[in-house]
Amino acid sequence: MRTAKSMIAPAALVAALTIASLAGCSGTGSNASDSPTASETKAASQSLPSDFPKSDVPLIPGTILVARGDKANGWSVTVQPDNKTGFADAKAALEKAGYKAQAGATDTKAVFVNDTYTVAVGTPGVSVTYLVTAN
pLDDT digits (tens, 9 = 90+) for 10-59: 433 333 333 333 333 334 444 444 444 444 445 678 899 999 999 999 99
The pLDDT, as a whole number, for residue 46 is 87
Task: Answer yes or no: do 15 and 46 share one domain.
Answer: no
Task: Answer yes or no: do 74 and 11 share one domain.
Answer: no
Is the entire prediction scored with pTM above 0.85?
A: no
Q: What is the pLDDT of residues 6-22, one digit of tens each?
A: 444 343 333 333 333 33
Task: Answer yes or no: do 57 and 8 share one domain.
Answer: no
d(CA 27, CA 35): 9
Domain count, the chain: 2
Task: Answer yes or no: do 63 and 19 share one domain.
Answer: no
φ, ψ (nearest 5 deg) of residue 76? -125, 125
> In Å, how far are 17, 24, 31 from 20, measured between CA atoms?
5, 6, 19
> In Å, how far are 24, 99, 105, 114, 132 from 72, measured between CA atoms?
51, 21, 26, 18, 11
Task: Answer yes or no: do 44 and 102 share one domain.
Answer: yes
- Domain of residue 23: give its range: 4-31
Task: Answer yes or no: do 106 and 46 share one domain.
Answer: yes
d(CA 123, CA 129): 6
Task: Answer yes or no: do 69 and 92 share one domain.
Answer: yes
